Amino acid sequence: MDLSGIYPPIAIPFTQEEAIDFESLHFNLQRWLSEPIDGLVVPGSNSEAAYMSLEERLAVMRVCAQAARAAGKRLIAGTGMETTADTIRLTQAAAELGADAALLLPPYFYKPAMNRAVLTAHYRAVADASPIPLLVYNVPQFTGVAFDNPTLVELAQHEKIAGIKDSSSNIVQMASLKALCPSFQIFAGTGSALLPFLSIGGAGCIAALANFAAAALREVWQAYAAGRNAEAAALQVRLAQINAAVTSTYGVPGLKYAMQRCGYRGGWPRRPLLPLDASGQAAVDALLDALGLAAPNS
Residues contributing to the annotated binding site for pyruvate: 206
Catalytic, 165? Answer yes
Per the document, the length of the chain is 298
d(CA 248, CA 119): 26
The catalytic residue among 137, 224, 257, 264 is 137
Neighbours of 293 (CB within 10 A): 19
Residues 6 or more apart whose CB falls under 8 angstroms from that of 76 comprise 3, 7, 39, 40, 41, 42, 99, 100, 101, 102, 103, 135, 206
Residues at the binding site are 206
One-letter amino acid of 286: A
Question: Which strand (E) or helix (H) includes residue 137?
Answer: strand 134-138
- The residue annotated as part of the active site, out of 165, 250, 257, 264, is 165
C-alpha R_g of the chain: 18
Q: Which residues are the active-site residues?
A: 137, 165
